[in-house]
Structure 1
Amino acid sequence: MGAVRFWLANLYTRRKLTLAGQYLILQLLIIAVVLAGVITVSLTQATNNFEKIEGRRSLSAAESLAANPLLRVLLPEAEPEMGSALPAMGESVRSTSGLQFVTIADPRGTVVTSSYPDEVGTSILHPESAVTEGRGWTGEIWRNGNHVLIAQVPVLDDEGKMVGIVSAGQSYPSTGEMIQEIAPNALFTLVISLLLGTSGSVLLARWVKHQTRGLEPREIAELFEHREALLHGVKEGIISVSPDSRVMLANDVAIELLQLPSHCVGKTLDELDVVPQVRHALTTSQELPDRQFLVGERVLVFNRMPVKTARRDLGSVTTFRDKTELTLLEQELGDSKATADMLRAQTHEFANQLHAISGLIQLGEYDEVVGFIDGVSFSRSKIFEDVSACIAEPTIAALLIAKSSVAAERGVHLKMAPSSTLGRCEDQLARDLTTVIGNLVDNAMDAAAAAANPEIQVRIEETSELVRITVRDNGEGIAEDAMDEIFTQGFSTKDSAVSGGRGFGLAISRLVCRRRGGELAAANVQGARFTATLRK
C-alpha cells in the first residue's frame, strides 16, 4: 500500500488528477488485486475439484480392471508385448471410463501393457505409492513434463497374493484451460466490480469534496502548509480551544508562553492542568480588548474571539503577546509621574508657606515669623535626616521623602526603621527598588488609612548579596484565604481598559523580585507585613 500511495502521489503531481480520478484509479487497483485473488482461489478450487473427481474415477476404473477374473489368470504368466488380451482389457477400461491412460504391470512394477507404448518395460512404482503393501493409492507424478494424476491398485489372486498392478490416470488440465473454464464468471465479476467501483468512486469523491468545501487534495495540502507557516511565523501566541475546553491548535509561541507540553494539541485544559488565570483567559467571554494576566513571571495580554458557523459552535481562538517589559516600564513611568506630582504638591505647599511668611513680615510679626520658620524647618529637616541618615541612594531617598509627604497629607505616619541602611546602587537595581518600595508603600497607606492611628514602618537592609525591604502597616491585615491571591488578583480577576491595568502593584513587585532571584512574601503581624528580597 505504501508503494501504491507513492505512485498515486507522483501521478497526481504530474497530471493533477481530481479527487474523483484518484478514487477511481485506487478502486481499479483494488478491483485488479481482488480479481487476481479470485482467479487464484478459483484455480486452486478447480485443481482441488479435479483431483477429487478424477482421483475417484481413476481409482474406480483401476479397481474394476483389477477385479477382472481373466486379468487375474493371465497376469502371472504375462510378458511385455506378448498377446493382445491384456492390452484389449486395458483399452476397454480406458475408453469406458474416459481416462487418459491405463497401465498393467507385473508384481515388480514392470509395465506389461500401457496406453503409452513407450512405458512398456519400465517401472511404474512411485516412492510414495502403497500399492506394494496391498493397498490402493492415488497421487500425482510428472511424466515427460506433464502433471499427471494416477491411481494404482494391486491385482490379487484367489489366495490374496499380489500378481500385478493396475494404474490408471488423467493429466491435469493446463492453467489456460482452467482460466477458460472460469473466464465467464470472472468477466461477469469484473464488469460488476467496475460499475460498482466507478459509481462508488464518484459518489465518495462528491461526498468528500462536500466535506472539504470543494477543495482538492492539493489545495488542502497547500492550505495546511500556509496555515502552519502562518502559525509558526508570527511572534504572537495563538491557541484554539473547542467548546469542550480541548486544545485544537497551538503554535510554538503559545506553548512557550503558557508553559504547555509540546503534545498539548488534542488534550483538555484539565488534562494539561493549566493555571486558573490561563483557563479564565481561554474560556470566558471578553468584552474589552487586551486583558492582562500574570502567567509564571510574564505579563501576557490576551484577546479572545469566539468562532461560530451557521451549523455549530467551534469554540474560540485566543491570541496573546508578552508585555512583561512594557508593563514594567509603564509601572516605572507611573512611579516617576507620581513622584513628579508629589514634588509639584510640595512646591505648592512651600509657596503657601512663603506667602504666610511674607504676610507676617508685612504685619511686623517678626517673632511669629521666626517661630513659623523654625517649625517648618524642624519638620522638614526631621524627615530629611531620618531618610538621608540611612539611605545613600538618591533615587530611593527622594521616593521615601515624597511618599512621607503624601502619607502626611492622608493622615498616615510613615517612619523609617532605625536599623535601615542602603548604599549606592547600580541603575537597574535602583529602578527595581523604586518599583517595589513604591508599590508596597502605596498599598500600606491604603491598608492603614482605616486604622485609629495609621502608621507605616519601612525597613531596608543591605548585605553583600541582596537587599531586603520590609513594609509594615497597622491596618486590619490580609484575609487568610487571600494570602496567595493578592499577588495575582490584578491579573486574574480585574479587567481594565486603562493602560497597564489596575491592581497590578503586588503582582509587578513579585515579578520584579523573582526576576532578580528574590521573592515577595506577605504575613499578618499586628497588621500586614510584606517582605521583599532582591539579589544584587
Structure 2
Amino acid sequence: MYIIAKKIRINLLTQLTLLITFVVFISTFLVSTLFSGMIDEIIEHYIGQEAMTVAELTANNNTIIQAFDERYPSEKIQAVAEHIRKTTGADYVTVANLNGIRYSHPNPNYIGKHTVTSNDATLKRHESVIYKGNGISGPAIKAKTPIWNNKGEVIGVSSVGFLVNNIEKQVFEYRVKFIKLSLIPLIFGVMGAIFIARRVKKLIFGLEPEEISYLFREKEATLESIRDATVTVNIEERVTSMNKRARELFRDHSLVVGGIIKNEHLNELIKEVINKKAGLANKNLLLGHQLYILDLSPILKQNEVKGIVLTIRTISEIEQLTTEVSKIKTFSENMRAQNHEFLNKLNTIYGLLILKQYDRAREIISSEVKERQDIISFLVSSVKDPLIAACLLGKVNRSKELKVSLHFEHESNLTSVLTIEDSKNLVPIIGNIIDNALEAARVKNGMNGQVKVSFTDLGKDIIFDVEDNGAGVQKEMASTIFIDGYTTKNGENHGIGLAIVKSSIALFNGEIYIDNSPLGGARFTIVIPKRTSLKKEE
C-alpha cells in the first residue's frame, strides 16, 4: 500500500497548478451562474415591460378603438395588430372584446374564437397585468391592458405575448457569448497557475514539502550539534537564531534571539561585512569579561546581503586545542630571541679570543651570567606566584628581542599567593600593559627605549606600576584607549589588549590610573584589592 501511495503521490508543482486552476474554475463558474440568473431576471423583466408597452400601444390605437363600432371589427383590427406585432417583434398581438372573442391573432384561424386565458382582471378590475403563462401558442411572457373608447368605457382587451422558447434562444445566445468570454480568464488563470507554480518551485529549489521539512530538521540538527557557537543576524543587527552552544555560551543574555546587538565593535564588523559583501575571519571580540574569536559570513541573495552568520569560539576553547602548539611556539620564540642575542655575544667573545683579549672575554661572560642570574634570582625571591614570575621573565626575553631596556625596581615585592583563577586573570593585565610599554618605548626611542616595572602587595592592595619613555597618553585619551577596537597601530586584531585589561580589572573590582612618567612617557598604575582567597606566604 505504501508503494502504491508513493507512486500516485502528486508533486508540489502539480498540486499548486490544480489548486489554482480549481479556484479559478470555481470562481468563473460561480460568476457565470450568477450572471446567467441575472440575465434571466433582467430579460424576463425587460420582456414583460416591452410586452406591456406594445399592449398599451395597441390599446391606444384609434383605428382599433373605432373598429369596435363596426359590424366586422376584425377586418381592420387584424391588419393593425399584425403591423404592430411585426414592427415590435412580439410573437402575438391579440385584441378581444368584452366577451373574450378574438378580433386579431397571428394565426387567422383563431380569430372569432374565445381566448384561452382569463381576461377578468383586465376587464372587470380595469387592471394592466404582466404574467408568465401558457396560451395556444405555448408558454409566453404576457401583458394585458384594457381598451377604452372615447366615452371612457372599457370595450375590450389588448394582449401581447413573447414566447418563452424564443426568449430562451436569445438567452442561450447571450450565455454562449458569456461562456466564450469566461474562457479567456479561465485560460489566463490556468496559465497563471502554471507560472506561479513554477515560480514557487524555483524559489524553493525544486524541493517537495516533505524534502523541505526534512532538510530543515537536518540543518537544525546539524547546527545544534556544532560545538562552535553559531548565531545568525539580519541586516538590522537583530539576532534571528542561535544554536545550542550559543545559548549555553550567552546565558548572561548578552546575545538573545530577537535582541539587538549592542556591542559597538561587533556592529562595526557586521557593517563591514555588509559593505564588502565578503566574510571576515579570526576577529577578536570582547563580550562582557570574556574574549572570543569570531568569524563572519554573509548570507547573499542576488548579490545582496540579507543576513550574517557569526561563528564564535572562546579563547579558552582555542587554547585548550592548541596548548601543545602554543608551548612549542613560545619556546621557539624565546629560543630565537635568545639565540639571536647570544649569537652576537658569542661572535664578540670569539673575536676577543682570536685577538687574545682573554680578560675582556671573561668580563663579558661574567657580566652576562650575572645579569641573567640576577634577574632570575630577583623574580624567584620577590614574586611567590609562579605564573606572574613566569610572565615577568617572558617579558624580559621580549624586551631583549625588541632591544628595549626593561628594569624591575629592586624593592618590589609580591609575597601573596593567588588562586589559579586569579593568576590567570592577573597575568593578561600585567602582560598587556608591559607589552604596550615596550612597544611605545621602542617606537619613540628605538634602542634607547626604557621600561620600568615596580610592584608591591603591602597593605590591602596589589599594586603594579609600569612606566616607559614612549610618547605618553594625553589626558583626553585616557578613557578612549580602553574601548574595544581602538588602536593607533596598523594591521588587524589590534585594539583589544587594553580592552582585555579593563575587563579583567573589573573582575577584581580594581582600578587602573594613567599619569605622566618621570621617564618622559606614560605611567600605568594597576590597583587590585586583595581577596580572602589571597594568602600571605609564611
Q: TM-score, normalised by structure 1?
A: 0.55
In structure 2, C-alpha distance between the alignment counterparts of 1:48 and 1:489, rounded to whole Å: 83
1:291 aligns with 2:282: yes
1:25-424 aligned at under 5 Å gives the runs: 26-66=20-60, 97-98=90-91, 117=117, 120=120, 158=150, 180-182=172-174, 184-185=176-177, 188=180, 215-216=207-208, 219-220=211-212, 222-224=214-216, 226-231=218-223, 234-236=226-228, 251-253=241-243, 259=255, 262=258, 275-280=267-272, 291-297=282-288, 298-303=290-295, 320-326=311-317, 387=382, 394-395=385-386, 398=389, 402=393, 410-415=404-409
Unaligned 5+ residue runs, structure 2? Answer: 99-113, 343-366, 532-538
Shift of 1:502: 8.0
Relative distance call for 1:122 and 1:167 in structure 2 (3 A) is closer
In structure 2, C-alpha distance between the alignment counterparts of 1:103 and 1:492, rounded to whole Å: 118
Relative distance call for 1:386 and 1:212 in structure 2 (3 A) is closer
Task: Count how many residue pairs are aligned between Structure 1 and Structure 2.
Answer: 443
In structure 2, C-alpha distance between the alignment counterparts of 1:181 and 1:67, rounded to whole Å: 34
In structure 2, C-alpha distance between the alignment counterparts of 1:210 and 1:400, rounded to whole Å: 60
Relative distance call for 1:187 and 1:218 in structure 2 (3 A) is farther
Which residue matches 1:436?
A: 429
Report Cα offsets for 1:318-376 as digits up to 9, x if no partner: 66232233367789987x978x979xx9xxx9xxxxxxxxxxxxxxxxxxxxxx9xx99
In structure 1, C-alpha distance between the alignment counterparts of 2:42 and 2:49, rounded to whole Å: 10
Shift of 1:435: 2.5
In structure 2, C-alpha distance between the alignment counterparts of 1:511 and 1:44, rounded to whole Å: 81
Shift of 1:432: 1.0
Report Cα offsets for 1:203-231 as digits up to 9, x if no partner: 77667667766555654555455445545
Relative distance call for 1:379 and 1:525 in structure 2 (3 A) is same
**Is the CA contact 2:239–2:255 (under 8 Å) kept in the aligned structure 1?**
no
Shift of 1:275: 2.2
Report Cα offsets for 1:138-183 as digits up to 9, x if no partner: 8x77999xx9977676766647x68699685769959987874545
In structure 1, C-alpha distance between the alignment counterparts of 2:391 and 2:465, rounded to whole Å: 13
Report Cα offsets for 1:445-485 as digits up to 9, x if no partner: 34345566834354667998x97755443421247779437
Decide which of 450, 457, 465 is 1:454's aligned counterpart: 450
Please tell me the root mean square deviation across aligned C-alpha atoms, in Å. 6.6
In structure 1, C-alpha distance between the alignment counterparts of 2:132 and 2:441, rounded to whole Å: 113
Decide which of 463, 485, 488 is 2:485's aligned counterpart: 488
In structure 1, C-alpha distance between the alignment counterparts of 2:159 and 2:465, rounded to whole Å: 115
**Is the CA contact 1:417–1:457 (under 8 Å) kept in the aligned structure 2?**
no
Relative distance call for 1:425 and 1:184 in structure 2 (3 A) is same
1:509 aligns with 2:506: no
Which amino acid in 2 is paired with 1:394?
D
In structure 1, C-alpha distance between the alignment counterparts of 2:201 and 2:424, rounded to whole Å: 61
Decide which of 471, 477, 485 is 1:476's aligned counterpart: 471
In structure 2, C-alpha distance between the alignment counterparts of 1:61 and 1:493, rounded to whole Å: 105
Relative distance call for 1:475 and 1:70 in structure 2 (3 A) is closer
Q: Secondary structure at the match of 2:437?
A: helix
**Is the CA contact 1:292–1:299 (under 8 Å) kept in the aligned structure 2?**
no
In structure 2, C-alpha distance between the alignment counterparts of 1:214 and 1:40, rounded to whole Å: 39
In structure 2, C-alpha distance between the alignment counterparts of 1:232 and 1:180, rounded to whole Å: 67
In structure 2, C-alpha distance between the alignment counterparts of 1:167 and 1:19, rounded to whole Å: 66
Shift of 1:506: 3.2
Which amino acid in 2 is paired with 1:430?
S
Shift of 1:252: 1.9
Shift of 1:433: 1.4
Q: Secondary structure at the match of 1:321?
A: strand
1:16 aligns with 2:6: no
In structure 2, C-alpha distance between the alignment counterparts of 1:462 and 1:104, rounded to whole Å: 140
Shift of 1:89: 8.4
Moved more, 53-62 or 448-457: 448-457
Unaligned 5+ residue runs, structure 1? Answer: 1-10, 76-83, 106-113, 126-130, 350-371, 496-500
Relative distance call for 1:70 and 1:238 in structure 2 (3 A) is same
Relative distance call for 1:248 and 1:26 in structure 2 (3 A) is farther
In structure 1, C-alpha distance between the alignment counterparts of 2:158 and 2:26, rounded to whole Å: 43
Relative distance call for 1:408 and 1:103 in structure 2 (3 A) is same
Shift of 1:30: 1.0
Shift of 1:55: 0.9
Shift of 1:411: 2.9
In structure 1, C-alpha distance between the alignment counterparts of 2:17 and 2:133, rounded to whole Å: 49
Which amino acid in 1 is paired with 2:317?
L
Shift of 1:64: 2.3
Relative distance call for 1:68 and 1:226 in structure 2 (3 A) is farther
Percentage of identical aligned residues: 16
Q: TM-score, normalised by structure 2?
A: 0.55
